[in-house]
Amino acid sequence: MITKPKIQIDLAKVESLAANGLTQEQIAAALGISERTLRSRKGEIADFADAIKRGKAKGIALVTNKLMESIKGGNMTGMIFFLKTQAGWKETQVIDNKSSDGSMSPAKPAKDLTDEELAAELEKLGEKPAHS
């Protein structure tokens, strides 16, 4: 049985592709191999998985450094983004939909109504409450 020769994979290229934010599927395509082959090689070659991890870390570091440079330069959008993602900041919006006369107040769930309130609601709907 004749077997195909193993495709040589350049780990520096793998690292570079990962640094540019490519997914494993995209890295495989760029290398001209299947995603299955990529997964297989990751299992066979210890440095392969490390190359992907190093690449991703380098890409994140590059973008983080650029973000921090822009923040230090006064980029307000960058500041807000950083605080939301790193400091737990979030925007909340409170909507008060109650009207002054109470007509827009949310209705109470039926289970929370007293018998009198439930009877009044049924009457509004044209239903006669069953008496027990």
Q: Over the stretch 88-106, which tens digit does the pLDDT of each residue have?
A: 998 888 877 777 776 666 6
Mean pLDDT taken over the chain: 87
Are 19 and 64 in contact by the 8 Å Cβ rule? The answer is no
Are 110 and 118 in contact by the 8 Å Cβ rule? The answer is yes
Residue ranges of domains in the chain:
11-86
Tell me how far CA of residue 117 lies from CA of 63, 79, 82, 124, 128, in angstroms: 60, 52, 50, 11, 13
The residue whose two tokens read 């007293």 is: 114
Mean pLDDT across 56-85: 96
Work out the pLDDT band at 129, boundaries 50, 70, 90: low
Quick one: CATH architecture of 11-86? Orthogonal Bundle (1.10)
Quick one: which of 8, 92, 18, 95 has its CA closest to 62?
A: 18
Question: What is the reported pLDDT for 2?
Answer: 78
Quick one: which of 102, 131, 104 has its CA closest to 119?
A: 131
Q: What distance in Å separates the CA atoms of residue 2 and residue 64, rounded to the nearest whole number?
A: 49
Confirm whether pTM is higher than 0.75.
no
Question: What is the reported pLDDT for 102?
Answer: 64
Q: Determine the residue type at 111.
A: K
| Residues in contact with 2: Cβ distance below 8 Å, sequence separation at least 6, in sequence order | none
Question: What is the reported pLDDT for 119?
Answer: 85
Asked if pLDDT for residue 131 goes beyond 90, the answer is no
